[in-house]
Structure 1
Amino acid sequence: MNTVVHSGAEGFLHRFEGLRARLPGQRLAWVQALREAAAEQFRVAGFPTRRVEAWKYTDLRPVSDAAFDEALTILGDGDTLPAPRGERRAVFVDGRFREELSQIEGASFAIGSLAEELPRLEGRLGALARPAEESLVALNTMLFEDGLLVTVPTGVAGGVLELCSLASRSERPSAFHPRHLIRLESGASLTIVEEASGPEDTRYLHNPVFEIELAEGAVLTHARIQREGVKGFQLGTVYARIEAGATYDNFTLNAGARLVRNEIHAVLAGPKSACHMNGAQLLRAGQHADTTTVLDHAAPDCASRQTYKTVLQGKSRGVFQGKIHVHQVAQRTDGYQMNQALLLSPDAEIDSKPQLEIYADDVKCSHGATVGALDADQLFYLRARGIPEAKARSILVEAFLQEAIEGVTDETARAALESAVAGWWEKEAA
């Protein structure tokens, strides 16, 4: 008997039909309705193509043409967890919560598995995500099996929580779609250091979706370190709603994966709220990284800052698309956006598309983009003082990235990012 291999959108829809009865929440009518609607949306839209404006610079055919199996969730002897950076850690392997690898006891706030708490999440799960508009979010909604569930009560300082996501080693390509829900109540604070990694010899798809709710005066620092395996794909989407006086501080470091899309949708929903979305992309030959941000200023007296920097070597390609939408009610908006690229190879390519859409009168908004190479005079200065060329280049690359990293005020998060960046060029040139 011949085995039929289903690839692309058809393959994921086929998997949904086979897993429907086993997916978490199958006995909850509202979860079933959510999944069914998402499946229909994905069936109609499929994977986005470059004919879609938001995907003009990123070709998903390496993903859509592949056939992915269900992840087996096996942590092998060669798979290791990153060194701990705090007291609390939530570990996911192939998108599923692993309590025996996690450290969540004694926390001052609720940490757990989304799959186990689904009966109590009606009205919260799916409140921010828009699967009808984003095909990859529809795919996640259709097939999510687990995710991180965090609720920080009013006024509680949650400290640092690590979110470790690992892909297990497999001979066959696998895909997983974790759904993470984060809520900070009024005046609460939390730092999340998220790190995603996987084996170098395994092809897999990691398609996470975050829904983040920040109540009045809450502060969330969200440091994301993406170091997926060289054959891996990460297509992540973050939704954040920021109420009055609250702050969302996001930094994303893309340093792994064959193809990555980091998409952030943030809404400044209350007066005097703030959003900082900074990041860095470190790309070597064969890598493609796309950072796309959509920032809605939907209330007055709000501030936003975006600084994204990309370093490219070999035949790599980076993309930055940043849209700031200032609604008519959002008077006295202060918005800033900067995208800078450092090309270390004549074969590297960067595409930058900043956008401002302003409907208010009293605003202060600016954006800019620059592209350049290492400064020859600075390189000569370092070399003339006996510094080897690889080390000199590494110093200049780290200096280029430092402006973006300095925007992260949390010491633990900033140290994790600095450690991930340190010596990148020297390791790549070795």
Structure 2
Amino acid sequence: MTTSLYSTRGADPTTAPAFLAPLEGRDAAILPVVADLRARGRARFAAVGLPTVKNEAWRYTNLRELAKQSIAPAGDSAATPVDRLPTVRSAGAGPRLVFVDGRFRADLSTLQGLPTGVLLTDFASACRDHGDLVAAHLGRLASADDRPLVALNSADLTDGVVLRVGAGVAVAEPIELVYVTVGREGVTASSHPRALILLETGARAVLVEHHISQGGAAVLSNHVAEITIGEGATLHHCKVQRENDASFHLSHIAASVATGGVYDNFILTLGARLSRNEVVSALDGRDARTHVSGGYMVRGHQHADISTVIDHAQPNGTSREVYKGVIDDHARAAFQGKIIVRPQAQKTDGHQLNRALLLSDNAEIDAKPELQIFADDVKCSHGCTAGELDDNALFYLRARGIDKETARGLLIGAFLADVLDEIAEAPIRDAFQDYVAGWLEEQR
């Protein structure tokens, strides 16, 4: 099932030519389905261009600054040296694919630790060796028709990842995807990676994404992931975004969860000049579950947008959504969370919560929780709050000899602690806590 987040009304077709790069050298076009997807994506994006604030789903996120950029495709990154790569592992190596400016780097990647029954490869190799798999899933969940940024990703589709975990296979080691942006001087280099992720019946896996920058050049990263969770399968999917403050990070995740399946998503947003993470999780089978959560910490003039849709399409589904954010200086954040309960989705249990902590009088949070319930036997709730640090708690810590900045850091850390507890895997939770601690230390 494809769930619509917004229409293309309120898009600006005059921005399209600057973003549509020539198609020469796109190796993945060896498959007709890829060539067809590109053609449809180019036609659609040429017709609508970037979304504007006239579109309700983009009401709180203005892409005007992105439209002003001099956009060019990212250059050849095959020989680009890369600094130390991030990992959630305390020791040892495990399965990892690395992409530099959207292009796969085999020399930095490893398949060590993958059990039999798991396919993990780059997009071009999957097109060459597993064309039927790509043809069956590419473009099935993420539609370019009503999402301009998905259309743009499709139009410039060059590389990405394909992961298939076979029926009954459990992957003990976290699978890590590392996306490094380097960019080019004088332009905003763009990359549009695609991910196809399939967990077959009863499979289990943990996937961790790292998005980082090397250097200070401006880049546009426009990611799309299509995730299929089979019956009784479980995917824990965690992402941390730490790109530089000159960058634009756009992401769309479309997941379909079959009967008894579980999709668990956590996103930590710390970087980028402007970021938007869209998560659409469709519970397409009975007793399916989804857990969508995350934290966002922005300062300066950063902008972070979290937009989610959880679509209960079958009975007995369960969803939990918890986001917490810290906003300082002139930064701004937006949260749009929608829960849909279809008429046939009786016995649905859905919960949504967003809480924001404003550290400055100039900081801003725009929140729009939404429930669309078309069934009568459900249990659904939502809540949004925004506030400042507790002066009494701050005074209590100061009265015990703790300096002001340390006391503020302790209270902010405590505010975020319970959302980090939403991460089920302890090593990942510890790594993400370290990222939060590093942000707080920089804040001091």
Instruction: Assess same fold via TM > 0.5.
Output: yes
Q: CA deviation at 1:30?
A: 2.5
Distance across 1 between alignment mates of 2:404 and 2:334: 28
Give the corresponding residue for 2:209. 194
Give unpaired runs (5+ residues) of structure 2: 1-13
**1:350-361 alignment runs, 5 A limit:** 350-361=365-376
Q: Does 2:268 match 1:264?
A: no
Give the corresponding residue for 2:43. 40
On the 8 A contact 2:358/2:388 being kept in 1, the answer is yes
Q: Does 2:163 match 1:150?
A: yes
Question: Which secondary structure does the structure 2 equivalent of 1:338 belong to?
Answer: strand
Q: Tell me how many residue pairs correspond in the alignment.
A: 419
On the 8 A contact 1:275/1:304 being kept in 2, the answer is yes
On the 8 A contact 2:259/2:287 being kept in 1, the answer is yes
Distance across 2 between alignment mates of 1:406 and 1:77: 35
On the 8 A contact 1:89/1:161 being kept in 2, the answer is yes
Give the corresponding residue for 2:7. none
Distance across 2 between alignment mates of 1:320 and 1:314: 18
Identity, % of aligned positions: 42
Residue type of the partner of 2:392?
D
For each residue in 1:88-108, what CA deviation from the matched residue of structure 2 results, as whole angstroms up to 9, or x when unmatched?
111111111111101213511
Correspondence for 2:32 among 29, 39, 44: 29
On the 8 A contact 1:316/1:349 being kept in 2, the answer is yes
For each residue in 1:368-421, what CA deviation from the matched residue of structure 2 results, as whole angstroms up to 9, or x when unmatched?
111100011111111222222222111111111112111111112212221111
Distance across 1 between alignment mates of 2:88 and 2:208: 10
Distance across 1 between alignment mates of 2:212 and 2:419: 22
Question: TM-score by structure 1 length?
Answer: 0.94
Distance across 2 between alignment mates of 1:142 and 1:110: 26
Residue type of the partner of 2:324?
K
Give the corresponding residue for 2:151. 138
Q: Which moved more, 1:353-362 or 1:192-201?
A: 192-201
Q: CA deviation at 1:79?
A: 3.5
Distance across 2 between alignment mates of 1:195 and 1:305: 24
On the 8 A contact 1:8/1:65 being kept in 2, the answer is no
On the 8 A contact 2:88/2:428 being kept in 1, the answer is no
Q: Which moved more, 1:388-397 or 1:201-210?
A: 388-397
On the 8 A contact 1:276/1:305 being kept in 2, the answer is yes
For each residue in 1:24-73, what CA deviation from the matched residue of structure 2 results, as whole angstroms up to 9, or x when unmatched?
34343322221111111101111000000000000001112212112124
Question: Which secondary structure does the structure 2 equivalent of 1:208 belong to?
Answer: strand
Distance across 2 between alignment mates of 1:32 and 1:169: 26
Q: CA deviation at 1:286?
A: 0.7
Question: TM-score by structure 2 length?
Answer: 0.91
Residue type of the partner of 1:91?
V
**1:159-308 alignment runs, 5 A limit:** 159=172, 160-171=174-185, 172-308=187-323
Q: Does 2:88 match 1:88?
A: no
On the 8 A contact 1:200/1:230 being kept in 2, the answer is no
RMSD, matched Cα: 1.5
Give the corresponding residue for 2:414. 399
Give the corresponding residue for 1:50. 53
Question: Which secondary structure does the structure 2 equivalent of 1:377 belong to?
Answer: helix
Distance 1:106 1:380, change over 3 A: closer
Q: Which moved more, 1:78-87 or 1:54-63?
A: 78-87
On the 8 A contact 1:88/1:161 being kept in 2, the answer is yes
Correspondence for 1:382 among 397, 404, 424: 397
For each residue in 1:134-158, what CA deviation from the matched residue of structure 2 results, as whole angstroms up to 9, or x when unmatched?
0000000110111111111111111
Q: CA deviation at 1:210?
A: 0.4
Residue type of the partner of 2:285?
G
Distance 1:133 1:193, change over 3 A: same
Question: Which secondary structure does the structure 2 equivalent of 1:422 belong to?
Answer: helix
Q: Does 2:327 match 1:337?
A: no
Distance 1:270 1:83, change over 3 A: closer
Q: CA deviation at 1:114?
A: 1.1
Distance across 2 between alignment mates of 1:320 and 1:311: 13
On the 8 A contact 2:144/2:150 being kept in 1, the answer is yes
On the 8 A contact 2:255/2:282 being kept in 1, the answer is yes
Question: Which secondary structure does the structure 1 equivalent of 2:381 belong to?
Answer: strand
Give the corresponding residue for 2:3. none
Q: Which moved more, 1:70-79 or 1:264-273?
A: 70-79
Distance 1:212 1:381, change over 3 A: same
Q: Does 2:72 match 1:69?
A: yes
Question: Which secondary structure does the structure 1 equivalent of 2:429 belong to?
Answer: helix
Distance 1:103 1:157, change over 3 A: same
